[in-house]
Structure 1
Amino acid sequence: MKALLLLLISVFPLPAAETLHVYTWADYVSPDVVEKFEAKHDCKVVIDTFDSNEAMFAKLKAGASGYDVIYPTSYMIEVMDAEGMLLDLDAAQIPHLKNIDSGVLEKIHDRSMKRSVPYTVGYAIIASRKDKSPSAATWAVFENAALAGRMTLLDDMRETIGAALKSLGYSINTRNEKELAEAQAVLLKWKKNVAKFDNEGYKAGLDSGEFLLVHGYSGDLFQVAQENDKVALMIPQEGVTMSCDEMVIPKTAKQPALAHAWIDFLLDPEIAAENMEWMGYLCPNTEALKKVSPEFLHNPAVTIPDEIKAKCETIQDLGADLAKYTKVWDAVKG
């Protein structure tokens, strides 16, 4: 019987499980949540990661395809939408769309969720080794020569130029060349003290004590602080960038139905609550927020003071004026 079964399988092979290809940021979906989705839909989820919106966009424009769900930040969705890269979503396949916080929808490009669905709201903040570095919550800490070689800034043009602009009291979306020149001077001053511009290694470096102060994403730093009580999270008093990462399905997706199922699964309140407690980012899901722990909501990486929140801004698409930022970034990195 066993031999016959093997013969039948060799002649009539079992159909391969469908594979969902996800392109997202590192540590952005709980492995347990992935396993639950795979079990529910009898499929395989393959996750590739990017470390900046610009790198992701450049890869896609260079011809990379095969991704079914991508997680751009709201401002990059404007660009991708204008380029005709995104599939219209079928709301009937995503019944949990009703859980998205309407207040967040008011701040993003696709308010009707025609082609994108909010996933997280996060901030670019700073964190330090509280046993070895100052506790002042200000962007001016990067001027501290005593920490030279032990600090990092994000290797992200808009985030890091935005930090310098905020330190000067300017908008992170300014088009004013004089203000951008001042931000460039600030960054060149900070550059003398930082070990490197980095989007990944800062987490392990802060945890180990290699770095004493880092600029990073709130969810990443939340995860480090959860595991290391020597790490303190700080929200610069001048304000920070606030971003909304969203889920989109590219027109080149090979599994659009499975992609819709993935988005709906992540919006399920039980799943969303589990997922956000693992990754450390707030999901704008009104029903899920009723299911998370009070400790999660009180964490400074998740809920920031109202007086600072009033100074926060979301990064916007600047169109042709983005070249002004590229010029500053090339001067700083060069």
Structure 2
Amino acid sequence: MRTIPTRSATSRTLGGAIAALSLITLSACGSDSGDSSTGAVEKLGKNEGEVSILAWPGYVEDGSTDPEVDWVSSFEKETGCQVTAKVYGTSDEAFNLAKSGEYDVVAASGDLTLRMIAAGEAAEVNTDLIPNYEGIYDFLKDREWNTVDGKNYGIPHGYGANLLMYNTEDVSPAPTSWKAVFEDAPEHKGKVTAYDSPIYIADAAVYLMAHQPDLGIENPYSLDEKQLAAAVDLLKAQRASVGEYWSDYTKTQASFETGDTVVGTTWQVIANLIDPKKASVEAILPSEGATGWNDTWMISSKAKSPNCAYAWLDHISDPEVNAQATEYFGEAPNSDKACEFASEGHCETFHAGDEKYAEKIWFWNTPIEKCLDGRTDVKCTDYQDWTKAWAEIKG
């Protein structure tokens, strides 16, 4: 495999304004979106001999990062499709790169998928041509971030929740609610951390759903102007107590270990990596639930190697391969079968297959003008609105 150099990034942050959004009518999703895509193929042909993949760091590994971490070599040997991979650091960056038409496959989080579909950059996927699709958890299939108007636009990969982590020695009593980083944030002023992204507005919305029901929020990614304003007010109040907004998880790990941070948003993998000799921490799913991610492997509507692209989607969904990939990244795999190949305790730690746990996670989605909660009497705010709001929050 040849890896195309890119600017280093180990985050899922969305940071920065999205000029591209002004060119796209995301409200088309759910009506005529996807019409400009290639449509689902009915039959596969001969593999083209190469495939170009755009993905998060750690999703396409060939042993060059770690000799023990390699699921690309077996794919190349079995299919004859030589892999060229480029990693990206933000969903915005991925969207702009995907539009170039240089990539056959894109690994996209839910804050990117609808943009891909609305822009006609994603091809409809015929899941019947992907044998390993059948074994994937049903609760990850046919969801609003990977399926539009009954058309499937990708294959679910791993998933995880954005958790609340706290230093057990500095934060007492042990928190059970996001109240610890909102109303109670002043108790730890300067030592609170939050995820650095406009999509973090949804975390505030999750909290408001539970604590200000009069706002009528039913989906944290579907906010009208009044609801968005309430979330912005909550985050502006939090801003005074935030010591650092994070996007690079290695930096927030270090911040907890040095004591510069004692409470805030985290991923399970960060909690796992923290040296217990440096900091005693716990990571929990709060009572209100949480936001999270379930990434989707998508095929470009401009794919030059669609047959190899389909082969990759099936390979990365193979239980043994999916176990390798999701364990390396630090997330739950997409099937029970994959858990049979994962290291002992991995699936338990990440709650793989626990549908009740997954029901508490609001997986990342793209805010669009057409309300995702089904309302038709108002216009909802879109991602461009959220981007402007985030800049206002951070000041």
- TM (norm. structure 2) is 0.67
Q: Which amino acid aligns with 2:362?
A: E
Cα pair 1:74 1:245 within 8 Å, conserved? yes
Q: Could you tell me which runs of 5 or more consecutive residues in structure 2 were left unpaired when the two chains were aligned.
A: 1-47, 62-68, 210-216, 370-380
TM superposition shift of 1:97: 1.9
Over 3 Å counting, the alpha-carbon distance change for 1:283 and 1:140 in structure 2 is same
Quick one: which of 352, 361, 368 aligns to 1:312? 361
Q: Which amino acid aligns with 1:118?
A: P
1:219-270 CA distances to partner (integer Å, 9 max, x unpaired)?
xx32551563444222122111243210011123343333222211111112
SS in structure 1 at match of 2:392: helix
**Pair 1:78-2:114 in alignment:** yes
Cα distance in 1 between the residues matched to 2:319 and 2:87? 25
Cα distance in 1 between the residues matched to 2:235 and 2:317? 39
SS in structure 2 at match of 1:180: helix
Q: Which residue of 1 aligns with 2:56?
A: 25
- Bigger-Rg structure (1/2): 1
Q: Which residue of 2 aligns with 1:3?
A: none
Quick one: which of 190, 202, 206 aligns to 1:162? 202
Per residue, is there more helix in 1 or in 2? 1
Runs (4+) off by over 6 Å: none
SS in structure 2 at match of 1:71: strand
Q: Which residue of 1 aligns with 2:189?
A: 148
Q: Which residue of 1 aligns with 2:386?
A: 325
Q: Which residue of 1 aligns with 2:138?
A: 102
1:121-155 CA distances to partner (integer Å, 9 max, x unpaired)?
22222223434445413222224334333332112
Cα pair 1:100 1:285 within 8 Å, conserved? yes
**Pair 1:173-2:221 in alignment:** yes
Quick one: which of 252, 266, 269 aligns to 1:222? 269
SS in structure 2 at match of 1:122: strand
Q: Which amino acid aligns with 1:110?
A: T
Cα distance in 1 between the residues matched to 2:191 and 2:353? 27
TM superposition shift of 1:296: 1.9
Q: Could you tell me which runs of 5 or more consecutive residues in structure 1 were left unpaired when the two chains were aligned.
A: 1-16
Cα pair 2:153 2:298 within 8 Å, conserved? yes
SS in structure 2 at match of 1:287: helix
Cα distance in 2 between the residues matched to 1:38 and 1:231? 41
1:55-102 CA distances to partner (integer Å, 9 max, x unpaired)?
4224445xx442222111245323322221113435565322222222
Cα pair 2:332 2:350 within 8 Å, conserved? no
TM superposition shift of 1:297: 2.6
* Range with bigger deviation, 64-73 or 322-331: 322-331
SS in structure 2 at match of 1:168: helix
Cα pair 1:117 1:247 within 8 Å, conserved? yes
Q: Which amino acid aligns with 1:25?
A: W
Cα pair 1:207 1:228 within 8 Å, conserved? no
Q: How much is the aligned-residue C-alpha RMSD, in angstroms?
A: 3.2
Query: In the TM superposition, what are the counterparts of 1:225-236 in structure 2 within 5 Å?
Result: 225-226=272-273, 228-229=275-276, 230-236=280-286
Q: Which amino acid aligns with 1:271?
A: V
Cα distance in 2 between the residues matched to 1:318 and 1:32? 35
Cα distance in 1 between the residues matched to 2:355 and 2:301? 40
* Range with bigger deviation, 172-181 or 233-242: 172-181
Cα pair 1:21 1:67 within 8 Å, conserved? yes
Over 3 Å counting, the alpha-carbon distance change for 1:91 and 1:163 in structure 2 is closer
SS in structure 2 at match of 1:97: helix
**Pair 1:186-2:208 in alignment:** no
Cα pair 2:161 2:290 within 8 Å, conserved? yes
SS in structure 1 at match of 2:290: coil
Identity of aligned residues (%): 20
Q: Which residue of 1 aligns with 2:327?
A: 277
SS in structure 1 at match of 2:345: helix
Cα pair 2:256 2:262 within 8 Å, conserved? no
Q: Which residue of 2 aligns with 1:67?
A: 103
SS in structure 2 at match of 1:319: coil
SS in structure 2 at match of 1:137: coil
